[in-house]
Structure 1
Amino acid sequence: MGVTQNSGSTKGLKTTLVGIIASALLALIKALGGIFGNSYALIADAIESAADVFTSAMLWMGLKWSAKPPDENHPYGHGKAEALVAIGISVALMVAAGIIIRDSIFHIQRPHKTPAPFTLVILVLVILTKELLYRYVIRTGAEINSGAVKADAFHHRSDAITSAAAFVGISIALIGGEGFEVADDYAALLAGAFIIYNAYGIARPAIGELLDEEMDPELHDQIKSYASEVDGVRRIQQLRTRKMGTVYHIDLHVWVDALLTVREGHIIAHRVKDHILESVSQVQDVHIHIEPDSEPGN
């Protein structure tokens, strides 16, 4: 049978909690390191980690909401809450990027001290931790087919990359010495630009989901193939998909022999539905419309 929205959300919640705790600790470490180590790139990195905490908390609430069962006002369930959360994460990232870019420009225009060497140690720790988090979260997102969880994973990856940019900037400032202090700020500026790019990558599929964009063509063809395997099915038309969080709802027209009784056509429809649900784990429900085929066939 197909996976349930609730089972996927439960797994996503556990993963998100790990991300919240890790990001909160890293944000604190980076903020203190940036303040005492004279590194705005590290402070900018702390801002993004703080945004990680905020967006992961948003994801937590979204997953809880999306796991709610269908009701009278939401017959398809609440799965699209995930897409809304992904868009919220994207907006939060853009806001954080705007703050980082603004403050980077401010610091570039004003002389300041060279960052302390110990800030590099902090950044190495951050890069390793965030990359491990990315791999853990993206694996979960793929398993439960959650765009919001995948968005959270890419947020961790963006944090690792911005930390790497900060590492390069601080290294240049330390090696170059006097006159190269702004390398730290340029690294923060680059990080802000990358965050905006990443935010777009998160928002694009979420908007597609809200607008009921079609599923992956390969999966679409698989469903059509499975439906055609059922005895009595002459052809399949108008296969439409709707993503609801971690699962899909399918609508399709099944053509059968026009001489069949209503009961016989109904039985074929149920067989098609059951076969799809058993064969494609991402599908939660299938709505079938039987069409009469008057042409000679099997």
Structure 2
Amino acid sequence: MVTGAVFAAISLSKSKYSTKYSYGLFRVEDLVSLAIAVIIAATAVDLLLSIPTYKSTFHLGSGIIQLISVIPLLLSGIVKIVGGRKVKAPSLVSDGYHNYSDVYVGIGVGLGLIASYATGLNTFYYVAVGIAAIGIFYTSVKIGRDSIVGIMDLPKDKSVIPKIDQIVKRNGQVTDVKSIKARWAGPVIFVEIVISVTSRLTIDEAHDVADSIERSVLSEISGVKDVVIHIEPSKSPERTILLPVSEHGRIDERTSKSLNYLIVTVRKGERIATRSIQIPSQDIAIEKNAQRVLSIAKENSVTDALVLETGEVLYSMLTVNHIELWKAISDSVDENIRLFMDGKLNKLKID
């Protein structure tokens, strides 16, 4: 009867009917496993209650037959447990442990009968059966604990969420992992992830980030059925600014042909770092200038550029790479940085 219930649960959880529900009917297997745990516990209680009323017959043959009879039960339990783990069916694994409870009873009774026959005392029978009952209780608790964990949305494997966290953080576009939730339902796991990405990503690019993370989680974490990813824009208070600077320390109107660039990092209205990059004059070439500026911006994680003017090629290359260009109102470096931090500069537009 128990095995029939197990196969019914497995069939239902994998049926087309299960797909009508958001999280399927996988928890039916957890419910069946919990029922099996209760049956196993009842077996142990019944075994203990039968001890005071049992009178040993002191037959050696009875003990030997009892021990031999557990062999098919043991083999059946092993097959169910190994097979259940292979196909990720927790209810089938629980049924295998249910077989083990019968094995414990058989071994306890068999050893008790043999010991009683050898000594003429019922005490050994009672002790052997009591030990078997303890083993049965242990099996019941193990199965019941795993089932309750699944039903109550508790983690069956505490290593899963840290593994998912590592997978998500491998993606260079992710600036923060807000939360990771995993729900176990029978043999499968449903994962929900909330992440922050750079706010300058397009919708298509953010979607590509989500797809990449989803594929990695599904392929690297065993048992994951579905991954839902919520994306939030990053609101980092830190910005890194690029300014083309002339030899006199003013903003150079030749953005792509400048021989000096200033990289300024600001956070919450304060300059926290400044560094200068010099370009050898022999490196200035019309066909390479825009690409060189883009390379400088990428290498220094630039988020914004303050310029007097720029050509269409450089403008396009920077904006495509999510670097915002701001129109400087004068050639004063300090004045324009202050206006940028105060939010008083306008974005550069090219007609």
Q: Does 1:243 align with 2:184?
A: yes
> What's 1:86 paired with?
33
2:214 maps to a residue whose letter is K
Structural mapping, 1:1-298, within 5 Å: 54-69=1-16, 70-72=18-20, 74-107=21-54, 112=55, 114-177=57-120, 180-181=121-122, 183-295=124-236
Q: Normalised by the size of structure 2, how large is the TM-score?
A: 0.61
User: By how many angstroms is 1:237 displaced?
Assistant: 2.8
Q: Secondary structure at the match of 1:105?
A: coil
1:65 maps to a residue whose letter is L
State how far apart, in whole Å, the 2-side matches of 1:144 and 1:202 are: 18
Q: Secondary structure at the match of 2:52?
A: helix
Q: Secondary structure at the match of 1:234?
A: strand
1:262 maps to a residue whose letter is I
2:46 maps to a residue whose letter is I
State how far apart, in whole Å, the 2-side matches of 1:195 and 1:203 are: 12
State how far apart, in whole Å, the 2-side matches of 1:215 and 1:97 are: 26
2:75 maps to a residue whose letter is L
User: By how many angstroms is 1:55 displaced?
Assistant: 2.4
| Runs of 5+ consecutive residues of structure 1 not aligned to the other structure | 1-53
2:184 maps to a residue whose letter is K
Report if aligned partners of 2:89, 2:187 keep a CA contact under 8 Å in 1: yes
1:294 maps to a residue whose letter is K
Please give the root-mean-square deviation of Cα atoms over the aligned residues, in Å: 2.4
Q: Normalised by the size of structure 1, how large is the TM-score?
A: 0.71
> What's 1:20 paired with?
none
1:34-78 CA distance string (max 9 Å, x none)? xxxxxxxxxxxxxxxxxxxx3222212221222224444x21100
State how far apart, in whole Å, the 2-side matches of 1:113 and 1:133 are: 29
Q: Secondary structure at the match of 1:170?
A: helix
Q: Secondary structure at the match of 2:190?
A: strand
1:223-279 CA distance string (max 9 Å, x none)? 222222234222323111011211111001121101212232122112211221122
State how far apart, in whole Å, the 1-side matches of 2:160 and 2:81 are: 20
With over 3 angstroms needed to count, the CA separation of the structure-2 counterparts of 1:144 and 1:220, relative to structure 1, is farther
Higher Cα Rg, which structure: 2
1:116 maps to a residue whose letter is H
> What's 2:278 paired with?
none
User: By how many angstroms is 1:215 displaced?
Assistant: 4.0
1:169-188 CA distance string (max 9 Å, x none)? 011111113xx246435533
> What's 1:40 paired with?
none
Name whichever of 167-176 and 59-68 sits farther off. Answer: 59-68
> What's 2:246 paired with?
none
Q: Secondary structure at the match of 1:78?
A: coil
Count of residue correspondences: 238
User: By how many angstroms is 1:86 displaced?
Assistant: 0.7
State how far apart, in whole Å, the 1-side matches of 2:27 and 2:168 are: 26
2:72 maps to a residue whose letter is T
More helix by share: 1
| Runs of 5+ consecutive residues of structure 2 not aligned to the other structure | 240-300, 302-351
State how far apart, in whole Å, the 2-side matches of 1:143 and 1:223 are: 23
User: By how many angstroms is 1:84 displaced?
Assistant: 0.2
> What's 1:22 paired with?
none
Kindly indicate whether structure 1 or structure 2 has the higher relative contact order, using CA contacts under 8 Å at least 6 residues apart.
Answer: 1
More strand by share: 2
With over 3 angstroms needed to count, the CA separation of the structure-2 counterparts of 1:192 and 1:57, relative to structure 1, is farther
> What's 2:295 paired with?
none
1:169-210 CA distance string (max 9 Å, x none)? 011111113xx2464355334433432332122111101100
1:67-102 CA distance string (max 9 Å, x none)? 224444x21100000110011101112222232222
